Structure 1
């Protein structure tokens, strides 16, 4: 009760200032919670972004390292190793294409021989032909 009578005895400007102070602290606390939530979500998003950027930088660093080793070898006069996997793959692809082309050529050759057996040649005398062709 003593506190309630003290509050009532204050002047109007003091009561208004007290009310404004309570309102201000409430607003600041609520804004602090909002800022804290925003900071947490920003930190989570920032960590994900940093992780993605780290992966990208890691890939770029690996490519840079590979190129630097190749440049160092070239400056040292060493030749690059042959890409054996690529060479073997190209040889196998060439063998497969050659086998397919040979099979197709044999099939066409067999069909044309059968067609020639069925063809009947006819000798035709043409009276209007030039003189040297019919002899």
Structure 2
């Protein structure tokens, strides 16, 4: 009696998320059972097939578990974490590419016979500039 009152007082999104989670759990369990049964029959047919099937069962179960957790987090309103390793890797790759490009530009400038740090800036007067840069 006491437990039923607590369940009835939950908010509608919490009830929906709980129902969705229960559906996901049952779907994962059903899929896991059918995959396990397929693995058992494959194991009976041959040892090589059984090894491949058990690897497939493990990876399929892991994937299903990860998807279920992500779905539950989405239903609960939680955002996925940022892939910091990917962002840091991209930043380091960008820095390496920039360094390589600047080194190549210095080498190309040195081949032309002028120093790499000798840069000329050109002042252009634009009459009637709409931005007002000519003041």
Query: TM (normalized to structure 1)?
Result: 0.47
Greater helix content: 1
Query: TM (normalized to structure 2)?
Result: 0.47
Instruction: Select the structure with the greater relative contact order (CA < 8 A; seq sep ≥ 6).
Output: 2
